[in-house]
């Protein structure tokens, strides 16, 4: 692979556009590419979604033209449907709460996109994530660090990167703030300099993931029982995929005291409610693990961990109990630890690894 050639994953947003600019400024022979992940027919909506739309493709093309670099559109819709959408649906139907952005990074951006770069004899892929790649000479391993701007840090969603992927990935925005990125875009006349960020799941633009699952599968979400910890029926729910761990509002029940969703049981279509204190737990297990800083955790480590994207890191002891299993024991009980979400571990600013909460 040619180490001075770089393929930039251009979403049409300001971050990836500035990443392309900075990479070109570093002297790389650059090309830009947008991944076509789905059509509106795939997700059962009319009009354009706020991500991966025709407008996004044209914004990315506009920036590529302004930079004078080639631009491509890669159709990965079959892979996206199989590796992201169908995993998303299967997780919800099993009672978990998935993070499709992590799956998109793992199976599309740093797998299919990376493979396409290799086919084109391009030595690096570039994204607009706020994180940093480095090489540790002591361990002889590639590492991943948090972005300097903690409010924008995206290392959590990149914990699944392999050593090969890290060795061929450039993350130019790792030491920058969003304000600095927008200034560069404005100074260079990029069409998307003021473009707002989407907070939605890209293939569920209206945010109603339960309705999306119904449309996609053609299967209605079956009502079932709300029960308490002793199994007493408290009322009826509208399909357990509609509820998330920690939820209190929108249950549609008249209760004597505030109760929260504490668990979901797919086997009998049941949602378990409990008091606020029942949401807290001191330990979890995770599978689907990927370690960056080491090949294996050979003895319990004291690390900071977080169980959701925006959570502050919490002190914990992390132990690898099997080839693909970790146990995490927190110093303090954590609220609403949710199966299907990622737990990611940090040693200072460095990502040690992570896995999927069971």
Please identify which residue in the block is written with the tokens 């892979």.
79
Does the annotation flag 11 for ligand binding? yes
- Active-site residue identified among 52, 101, 104, 350: 104
Mean of all residue pLDDT scores within the chain: 93
For residues 318, 321, 326, 328, the Cα torsion angle rounded to the nearest 10 degrees is: -40
Percentage of the residues of the chain whose pLDDT score is greater than 90: 89
Its pTM stands at: 0.92
CA distances from 28 to 19, 54, 57, 121, 171 (A): 12, 28, 23, 14, 14
Is 126 annotated as contributing to ligand binding?
no
Give the HSE-up count for residue 281: Cα atoms under 13 Å, Cβ half-sphere.
Answer: 16
Mean pLDDT of 199-203: 80
**Alpha carbons within 13 A on the beta-carbon side of 294:** 10
- What domains, with CATH codes, occur in the chain? 2-187 (3.40.50.620), 221-274 (2.30.30.280), 279-357 (2.40.30.10)
**Bridge partners, 285 (sequence order):** 327
| Per-residue model confidence (pLDDT) at position 351 | 98
10 is in an annotated binding site: yes
As a whole number of angstroms, the distance between CA 224 and CA 77 comes to 34
Residue 55 backbone dihedrals phi, psi, to 5 degrees: -60, -40
Label residue 199 exposed, middle or buried (CB < 10 Å: 0-12, 13-18, 19+).
Answer: exposed
Q: Is 104 annotated in the active site?
A: yes
Percent of the chain with pLDDT over 70: 95
Among this protein's residues, is 202 annotated catalytic? yes
Give residue 40's pLDDT band: very low, low, confident or very high (50, 70, 90).
Answer: low
| Mean pLDDT of the 231-236 span | 96
Task: Give the pLDDT confidence of 285-340 residue by residue, as tens digits.
Answer: 999 999 999 999 999 999 999 999 999 999 999 999 999 999 999 999 999 999 99
Residue pair 28/124 in contact by the 8 Å Cβ criterion: yes
How does 124-133 read in b/e, with b if 16+ C-beta sit within 10 Å? bbbbbbbbbb
Q: Is 287 marked as a binding-site residue?
A: no
Q: Is 1 marked as a binding-site residue?
A: no
Catalytic-labelled residue, pool 51, 202, 262, 350:
202
Burial class (CB in 10 A: 0-12, 13-18, 19+), 228: middle
**CB-side exposure of 340: number of CA atoms within 13 Å?**
22
Mean pLDDT of the region 3-11: 93
- The reported pLDDT for the residue numbered 49 is 46
User: According to the annotation, is 128 in a ligand binding site?
Assistant: yes
């Amino acid at each position: 692979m040619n180490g001075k050639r770089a393929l930039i994953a251009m979403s049409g947003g300001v971050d990836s556009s500035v990443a392309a600019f900075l990479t070109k400024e570093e002297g790389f022979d650059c090309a830009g590419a947008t991944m076509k992940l789905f059509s509106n027919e795939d997700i059962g909506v009319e009009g354009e979604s706020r991500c991966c739309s025709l407008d996004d493709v044209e914004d990315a093309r506009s920036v590529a033209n302004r930079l004078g670099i080639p631009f491509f559109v890669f159709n990965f819709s079959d892979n996206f449907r199989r590796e992201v959408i169908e995993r998303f649906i299967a997780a919800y139907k099993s009672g978990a709460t998935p993070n499709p952005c992590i799956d998109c990074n793992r199976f599309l951006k740093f797998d299919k996109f990376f493979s396409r770069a290799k086919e084109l004899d391009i030595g690096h892929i570039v994204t607009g994530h706020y994180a940093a790649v480095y090489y540790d000479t002591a361990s002889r391993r590639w590492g991943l660090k948090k972005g300097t701007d903690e409010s924008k840090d995206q290392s959590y969603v990149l914990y699944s990167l392999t050593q090969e992927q890290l060795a061929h990935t450039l993350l130019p925005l790792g030491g920058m703030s969003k304000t600095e990125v927008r200034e560069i875009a404005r100074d260079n006349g990029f069409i998307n300099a003021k473009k707002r960020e989407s907070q939605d799941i890209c293939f569920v633009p209206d945010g109603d993931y339960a309705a999306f699952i119904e449309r996609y599968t053609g299967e209605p979400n079956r009502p079932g029982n709300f029960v308490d910890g002793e199994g007493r029926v408290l009322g009826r729910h509208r399909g357990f995929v509609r509820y998330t761990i920690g939820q209190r509002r929108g249950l549609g029940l008249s209760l004597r005291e505030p109760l929260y969703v504490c668990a979901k049981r797919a086997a009998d279509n049941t949602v378990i409610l409990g008091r606020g204190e029942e949401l807290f737990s001191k330990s979890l297990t995770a599978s689907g693990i990927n370690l960056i800083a080491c090949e294996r955790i050979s003895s319990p480590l004291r690390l900071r961990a977080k169980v959701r994207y925006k959570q502050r890191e919490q002190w914990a002891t992390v132990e690898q109990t099997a080839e693909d299993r970790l146990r995490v024991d927190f110093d303090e009980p954590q609220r609403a630890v949710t199966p299907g979400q990622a737990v990611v571990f940090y040693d200072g600013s460095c990502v040690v690894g992570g896995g999927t909460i069971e």
